[in-house]
Amino acid sequence: MAGDELATYLGFDQFRVAGEDWGAAIAYAVAAFHRPRVRQLVFQETLLPGLPAGERDPSLEPDDGRTGWHFSFFSVPNVPELLLAGRERPFWTYFSRRQMWDPSALTEADIDEMVRSVEQPGGTRAILEMYRARLIDAEQNRPHYASPISCPVLAVGAQAYLGDQVYKQLTHVTSDVHSVVIADSGHNIALEKPAELTTSRSKRSFPERQPLSRRCLPSGQGRYWRSVARWLARNSTAFGTASSRFARFASPCPSSS
């Protein structure tokens, strides 16, 4: 699995993992499949496939994402690709903003970047295939659901979207879960409430802050991950201090004297 392999490549025996939406489902799988290595898990704004999701609110509008309408639509083979071709910008703009408390937080620049990726050959299909594979994901996760993961888990929900449903579901598959619900935010918390999201992941939520041990990268390796660090640096406005930290982790071993 990519998260486990990346940590190994960077020389970490143990690591923390965080994910949002589909990334959270992947982060759970990393934590469940590699339990001795994962120290903490941040699981944000999604529900795991194959587990009860709670009762649906009957007052939701038909196009509210919490009804799950898009799961059915996206899972139909080939038809969504046919209907969305050439309409990527209006559809994904509508889809993303419909899930937000403050739709203006999704800027034109954000939309440009999103559409640039989706319009690449196979871009739409790559998104839809994640939905189509959810039953497989559920089957692969099922043995782990029966044995709750023990690392500390932070369940992050948005007040105007999944809220405490994230926490409630995770209580069935984790043994040490803490809940944070971000007020006045829809599904995309990172755009709508970035400061509050950062605070939610702070020492107050995760008291254990022991440094992670790192093994140096073998000589001659790490070129790819250093190129990732350079890309992060070029996009430092969006990624903040992550670029400098990643560059340090991806640095080669110092020469021994």
80-83: long-range pairs with CB below 8 Å, 24+: 80/124, 80/128, 81/124, 81/125, 81/128
Q: Whole-model pTM?
A: 0.80
The tally of domains found in the chain comes to 2
Query: How far is Cα 25 from Cα 44, in angstroms, rounded to an integer?
Result: 9
Q: In terms of domains, do 205 and 254 share one?
A: no
Among candidate residues 7, 57, 10, the one with its CA nearest the CA of residue 31? 7
Domain boundary among 213, 228, 245: 213
Report the CATH number that the domain containing residue 88 is assigned in CATH: 3.40.50.1820
Q: In terms of domains, do 193 and 227 share one?
A: no
Q: In terms of domains, do 35 and 100 share one?
A: yes
Is 62:55 a contact under the CB 8 Å cutoff? no
Is 184:217 a contact under the CB 8 Å cutoff? no
Is 182:195 a contact under the CB 8 Å cutoff? no
Q: In terms of domains, do 85 and 132 share one?
A: yes
- Quick one: pLDDT at residue 10? 83
Q: In terms of domains, do 130 and 254 share one?
A: no
Q: In terms of domains, do 42 and 164 share one?
A: yes
- Quick one: pLDDT at residue 158? 98
Q: In terms of domains, do 206 and 106 share one?
A: yes
HSE-CB at 232 with a 13 A cutoff on CA atoms is: 17
Q: In terms of domains, do 176 and 228 share one?
A: no
- Quick one: pLDDT at residue 232? 53
- Quick one: pLDDT at residue 7? 82
- Quick one: pLDDT at residue 223? 55
Stretches in the chain below the pLDDT threshold 70:
1-3, 203-257
Domain that holds residue 3: 1-213
Q: In terms of domains, do 244 and 160 share one?
A: no
Q: In terms of domains, do 242 and 148 share one?
A: no
Residue 213, CA distances (Å) to 39, 229, 249, 250 in order: 12, 20, 11, 14
Query: How far is Cα 146 from Cα 149, in angstroms, rounded to an integer?
Result: 9
Q: In terms of domains, do 189 and 223 share one?
A: no
Q: In terms of domains, do 186 and 249 share one?
A: no
